[in-house]
Copies of this chain bind each other. A is one copy, B any other.
């Protein structure tokens, strides 16, 4: 009736044997007679015995739980990553506890220590946008807790990482815009605290250079517009009203791209005839706008899987065995839609 789950002790008492024997019987240890085994397993089944995983954790000093810290669950990309993590963790016998930093550095620090206090066996992290100091990671990593970064990684910590090929993705999409005939391609950049912002910027630059187009700082939108649709819209409107406006825009992510699109529509530009738009991430809604937005697909599920695999590998490594940190780079996929080509 109450939350009194049956324990090994109960079974032992009822059968008049010791808990040791019950424990061994349940795991089919050779040093237990078949009769005893049967008696034990029968009773265990009858009472629906479930081993107390907390006691187990204490005994083994292993919680079989991994912690995940992400900026926000409601972001489509991150929720697909979580699915990937769960997929691997679940089948390897781990529980997943997620916490979100809400893009706040302070909250991220708290989450990190909370997970450590909860004795997770390892942590998967995608940094908040605010994070520029890494002491909290350093601290728990030094303490021996395995960490794997994904997407928003931190170069200062020597551990495994999983990222997408931001450089190549940005290069491909910019090249695509160039090949479509656009002559003056602007870029809405991401926060400089994230390496991926730099990588995407570099990919953009490479494509320009390769096609003998010069990089023009005056059509680069910087600041906090990356995850603020309204701001992205405003800045784009300003840019479109300038003397020498661009005829295309590659935005660091899809949300920003949406702001860009609204600005262009409001200005009366035809998309993609007068103005082309491309984003990054392949968020769910990009297929639903009118026109649909050209973007770069990030394999979120795959990323979650890879990150979880790397982490679990490290968790389950033998004491003496040294695991070399490894960085996996996942390929992106260019998704061409109506915001950059006419007939699609």
Interface of A with B (CB < 8 Å)? 1-5, 50-55, 57-58, 61, 63, 65, 72-74, 76, 79-80, 82-83, 86, 90, 95-100, 114, 116-119, 142-145, 258, 284-285, 288-290
Contacts and interface: CB of A to CB of B under 8 A. Distances in A.
Main secondary structure of the interface of A (DSSP, over half): mixed
A2 B144 contact: yes
A243 B145 CA distance: 67
Given A58-B55, A284-B285, A118 B95 contact: yes
A288 to B, nearest CB: 5
Contacts of A290: 289-290
A53 B86 contact: no
A284 B38 CA distance: 56
A55 B119 CA distance: 10
A128 B142 CA distance: 42
Given A3-B145, A143-B5, A285-B285, A97 B97 contact: yes
Interface centre among A50, A79, A142, A288 (most CB of B within 10 A): A288
Given A5-B143, A96-B97, A53 B90 contact: no
Given A284-B285, A288-B258, A143 B53 contact: no
Nearest to A144: B3
A161 to B, nearest CB: 21
B2 A53 contact: no
Interface centre among A54, A90, A98 (most CB of B within 10 A): A54
